[in-house]
Amino acid sequence: MNIAGVVVEYNPLHNGHLYHLQKTKNQTHADLLVAVMSGPFLQRGEPALLSKWDRTRLALQAGVDLVIELPYQYATQKAEVFAWGAVALLHEIGATHLCFGSEAGTIAPFLNTLEILSEHQEDYNHWLKTYLADGNSYPKATALAFNTLGFNMESLVDLSQPNNILGFHYVEAVQRLQSSIKVETIQRIKAGYHDVEIADQQIASATAIRQALFQTEKAPTQLEGLTPPFTSRMLTTLKLQGRLRHWNDYYPYLKYRLLTDTRVQLQTIYEAEEGLENRLKQKAQDHENFHTFMSAIKTKRYTWTRLQRLCTHILTGTTKKDMLSGQTRERPKYIRLLGMSDTGQIYLNQQKKKLKLPLITHVSGTSIPGLALDIKAQECYQLVHNASDVHEYQRTPIRYDRPSDTFLNNN
């Protein structure tokens, strides 16, 4: 049985994601699709546009059979830690394949790069740290390290591209886990990860779609061609209700934390380093919205993404100790099930006794290291637009009957 895994955020799910799922299924001859999905806060340090439960519904309608949550300890981290947690979960759930989208489009450059770096790991790490210390971004530092070592770039993957970076770390994680997962990739088409302009009538980046959604003159109906109908319907409903999340919605809570926590308290927060927390505390007094605040604190040394992740950790009160599992590359300690199709439920019933990790379907009364952090993050996420949200302790996995296109529970 072929179990194909994908790692997703679906912020929101669009036609490019649908293309990825369809190509994954065809390329891997998958009998079952498993998605490891970020929870309320994402890898770039942003609150998700839609709740993880809404995104789970979209994933199931798009063809995914099992949706499991990537814990906060991994979901809000740099690429290598994010990839490590996601691949470890796919390994534990029994995935036979992992298929990711990339700018490269073929797997050979990733494998070549991993082999070369394994042979020159010490020298590469030295130059990478050197160029990062000079204030370069991670992609820029990587390219400079490669050039310094004189690698033949024609056979290697371009690690200045965002999806290539993640893909490389997926391949690296599979090797480190000594997993039998077969890794494959699909060419990303028409829109780049960071593209903010909508240049095609069918496919645009999630970044461009989010930006268009928050332009008051554009309604979700104007974006219908870029997303599957079920995504468009959900976006229309939630926008009318004013329930699409954005960092500006959370900025008052972040500002409160920055202004009321002491410098000593802020120093315990994960990714608060080199006095950066003092800069945030000072600038928070002068800015009334998140974008101008971020523009004021950004420097050449600290990227927007790096600072957003720090802001997320301050908002959620996440300390260096809380994130120890991610820092030390421990494997996740549980599998949190968010949703399943009828096919996914049959698979889980067959696999339950074989799973080495606890399968979490209900968090009430559960005490597993790391899970409390997920719950706290979700509670922070629900500070905004939570009037009709069901509390996390009352949630059970979403069940979806694909033949009838029906959700069997409404929680």
* Residue list, annotated binding site: 7-20, 101, 163, 188-189
Helices of type H across 94-153:
108-119, 121-133, 138-149
Percent helix, percent strand, percent coil in the chain, to nearest 5: 50, 10, 40
SS3 376: helix
Cβ pair 253, 296 in contact under 8 A? no
* Distance in angstroms (rounded) separating the CA atoms of residues 113 and 90: 23
For residue 238, count CB atoms less than 10 angstroms from its CB and return exposed for 0-12, middle for 13-18, buried for 19 or more. Answer: buried
Beta strand 406-407 pairing with 398-401? antiparallel
Read off the DSSP letter of residue 390: P
| Cβ neighbours, 10 Å, residue 160 | 16
The residues, ordered by sequence, that sit 6+ positions from 353 with a Cβ below 8 Å of its Cβ are none
Tell me which residue of 394, 392, 346 sits closest to 372, measured CA to CA. 392
Amino acid at the residue 384: V
Residues making up the binding site for ATP:
7-20, 101, 163, 188-189
CA atoms of 55 and 67, how far apart (whole Å) = 10
- Residue 336 three-state SS: strand
Residues 359 and 384: their CA atoms lie apart, in Å, by 29
> Which tokens is 362 given?
């209900």
Give 182's strand partners.
97
Identity at 400, one-letter amino acid code: Y
Interhelix angle 304-316/290-297, nearest 10 degrees:
120
Q: What three-state secondary structure class fits 113?
A: helix
Which amino acid is located at 63 in the chain?
A: G
Q: How far apart are the first and last CA of the chain?
A: 31
